[in-house]
Amino acid sequence: ERPGAYIWLGAGHPGDGAMLHNANYDFNDELLPLGASYWVTLVERELGLIE
């Protein structure tokens, strides 16, 4: 096993009641660039490519 982590990108829709892993959940595709950028920046920092 390896440790894991969650990040909250603000993908929820307040008041709709459909949580993640629910068939009625509507993922906000506009968050994909934000999520990808987060992980790229994390890796770049860990590899010492950026400060």
Average pLDDT, the chain: 86
Q: What is the pLDDT of residue 33?
A: 96
Residue matched to tokens 């096993």: 1
Residue 18: C-alpha distances to residues 10, 12, 30, 42 (Å): 14, 8, 18, 30
Average pLDDT rounded to a whole number, residues 2-21: 79
Mean pLDDT over 22-41 rounds to 90
Evaluate whether 31 touches 10 at the Cβ level (below 8 Å).
Answer: yes
Residue 16: per-residue pLDDT = 67
**Rounded CA gap, 31 and 51, in Å?**
24
Average pLDDT on 13-28 reads: 79
Quote the tokens at residue 51: 């400060």
